[in-house]
Amino acid sequence: MSCKKNMQTMSSKYLVILIILILALSIFLRFYNLQDLFIFGADEEHQTALAMTIVKDFHIIWIGVSAANLDFYLGPFWVYFTAFWLFLSKGDPLITGFVASTIGVLTTLLIFFVGKKLFGVKVGLIASLLYASLPLMVFFDRKYLTPTLVPSLSLIMLFSLYQTRYSDKWWIFFAAAYGLVFHTHLSLIFFGLIGFYFLIRDRKTLSKKVVVISFIVFLMIVSPLIAFDYFHKWSNITVPFRLLKIINTKPFYINLQVHSKSLFESLGRLWYLNPGSVISDEIPFACDNTTSTRTKPSVLLSTASLVLLGWFLTKRVTWKERLHRLLALSILVIIIPFLLFPGGAFEYYLLGFFPLFLFLPGILLQNVKHWGAIIMVGIVLSFPVLGIYTIMDTNMDFSFKTKKELISKVMGVIVDQPFELYENGICHKYEGWRYLFSIYGKRPERSSTDPVLGWLYPEEITDKKAQYTVIVSETNAPLDYGYDIQKAYKIVNRGFTAYILEKE
């Protein structure tokens, strides 16, 4: 008995060591060169500019950003959350990169915890190791946007629904997490169907008090949206009806072929991205195939992933065993809406799916014996090795450091003179330059960003005569502004070029 206890103690110690090593790897890969490789583009500029309106002049807001161009507004949680960090950093957006990476590390720990609790230690270890080291996951965890919380919320809702079997109080956690979906990203909205199914199924044994508390918690979290809808003719609630009217009209039409292709490619890209990748080219996909350096996935990897997914969803035990059925339903309520969504097929719409999918290699390993298991472990472990190499070899041409260096060089020329700012490019046309110049250099009098975001800072747009016109362009992109570039002072810094024209 004593020998058995000692063995269990040793196993626990080794498990703790493994978890620490995986977390250390997750921390290293997410914070490695973060100051140089932080992603800040048009979406980040929008989110930051919105949050800064609160920092500069605190006021109550009821909504956040619009979702999927549907005129459905997310809740304001992420705006307040962002404003808090920008207040601490005095507007420096780099702090949000540290926040996003920290959330990614915590998600690594969460995926181990959920995997271990639901499917066993092996599943938890494999899933967390993969999440910690796969480049696609690491790159997304370096990007600070409302979907940053989606992987964590996906895992929390899965675990909460599992725990309701043992305690009704877990419905409160599910209600809170589901409420946050309306503040982050709607790709998880159909998790509510699983919750409703469990609620109806277990209604006879549920505590009415817990149900009421859960409902109140949910209402409290989405209350800003309810208030907004009340004063705006139920704008959000009527989105489904508006969507039905515009389906099959550009750009809103169901295109199963495009979305299936996107899912198939993402299943391959999850495992491998090319070394020397440009992070902002990999996520999000912002330009066409002829100009992008985005990794084109291996058909073999995509097919293998699809087979793994199909194996799990079609095997009989999946639908007989409660935990496997719950995981399968959680996967389906993400990928089916993704396939049928009458809009863009963006990879980040699958952020809630990826951590759930990473449980499947460990589940498969539980069904493989002897040499097959050894071979499979070897294959799985090869991907973290490849992932580490890819992340360490990331291309710096369009990095955050490159942007700051270019701004510094431009300011060295124009000094403190008034200027107007314009952006140009193919894959890197909208790179958050106005906000970055405002923080690391000098705020322009006018910019090409103003027609889109100017409503957030109208008092900062002036008619003051500019001494200089600054055009920041992707180095390899042709200019289309009609300026005589031959007279411009040109500054080239890796992937970006600044053209400085002095006005007469």
pLDDT in tens, 87-143: 999 999 999 999 999 999 999 999 999 999 999 999 999 999 999 999 999 999 999
Three-state DSSP state, 423? strand
Tokens representing 214 are 């859960």
Angstrom distance (rounded) from CA 349 to CA 118:
25
pLDDT digits (tens, 9 = 90+) for 327-373: 999 999 999 999 998 878 889 999 999 999 999 999 999 888 888 88
Output the pLDDT for position 6.
47
Determine contact, residues 79/60, Cβ cutoff 8 Å.
Answer: no
- What pLDDT, on the 0 to 100 scale, is given for residue 291? 58
Q: Give me the residues of the chain with pLDDT under 50, please.
A: 1, 3, 6-7, 10
Q: Please give the pLDDT value at position 247.
A: 62
Q: How far apart are CA 269 and CA 302, in angstroms?
A: 8
**Residue 243: what pLDDT?**
64
Sign of torsion over alpha carbons 345, 351, 356, 360: positive
Residue 429: half-sphere exposure toward Cβ, Cα within 13 Å: 16
What is the pLDDT at residue 137?
97
Q: Is 140 helix (H, G, I), strand (E, B) or coil?
A: helix
451 preceded by cis ω (within 30°)? no
C-alpha span between 1 and 281 (Å, rounded): 58
Locate 317 and state its tokens. 């035990």
pLDDT, residue 331, reads 98
Residue 340's SS3 state is helix
3-state SS of 6-52 is HHHHHHHHHHHHHHHHHHHHHHHHHHCCHHHHCCCCHHHHHHHHHHH
pTM: 0.92
- Tell me the CA end-to-end span of the chain in Å, nearest whole number: 91
Closest CA to 130 of 27, 14, 13, 26: 26
